[in-house]
Amino acid sequence: MSSGVKVEVRRSGRRFDAEAVLELDASARTVWDTITDYDALPAFMPGISACRVIERHELPRQGERLLVEQQGEFRFLLFAQTMKVMLNIEHQALQVAEAKALSFDLGVFKRRAIDVFEGRYDITPLASRRGAPRVRLRYSAVIGLLLPPPPAIGSVAVRQNLTAQLEAVAAEIARRAALAG
């Protein structure tokens, strides 16, 4: 299971830098297969209602580049806004999955709300505990807004959404690890 999800968010003007580190009782393969299972994301990831891989190209050294479309909604308290994002995702097998938004439509704001979105997972195997595999999963994100958010609400909204998503990822990894073990 996870040692708990704690998302740190730093704000600088309209830019948010977020980071979380999870230690999981699972193999690197289970973690990798979960975070790169784009077809299954709507089943366990809050805020994602549809996800599909549009293109997939091999890269050197066990890498690949994908074009992925996601749809869903961004929620904060009673506020919910539909979103559609096109992502360029690069994989280095069992190590790194890095996504950069090519386009981002946030409902009524369309392309006027978000300037940049980048997210990255890093997987590091740890020493096993009682023979069971363990992994450190680090997630980092950069979110740049075109419109200035209210002073305190921006960081809270980013933290709330990323925490919910990473808790869901950790729960799905734990579920898959239990099935594998």
pLDDT tens for each residue of 67-113:
999 999 876 656 677 889 999 999 999 999 999 999 888 766 666 66
Q: Which of 114, 116, 137 is nearest to 125 (CA)?
A: 137
**By residue range, what is the domain housing residue 73?**
8-180
Within a domain: 1: no
| Reported pTM | 0.90
Residue 109 lies in a domain: yes
In the chain, how many domains are there?
A: 1
Instruction: Decide if pLDDT at 169 tops 90.
Output: yes
In whole angstroms, what is the distance from residue 35 CA to residue 113 CA?
A: 26
47 found inside a domain: yes
- The answer to whether position 100 is within a domain reads yes
Indicate whether 3 belongs to any domain. Answer: no
Is 30 within the bounds of a domain? yes
Higher pLDDT, 138 or 2: 138
Q: Phi and psi dihedrals of 146, rounded to 5?
A: -85, -35
> pLDDT category, 60, cuts 50, 70, 90?
confident
Query: Domain holding 60: CATH number?
Result: 3.30.530.20
Residue 58 covered by a domain: yes
Residue 2 lies in a domain: no
Say yes or no to pLDDT of 144 above 50: yes
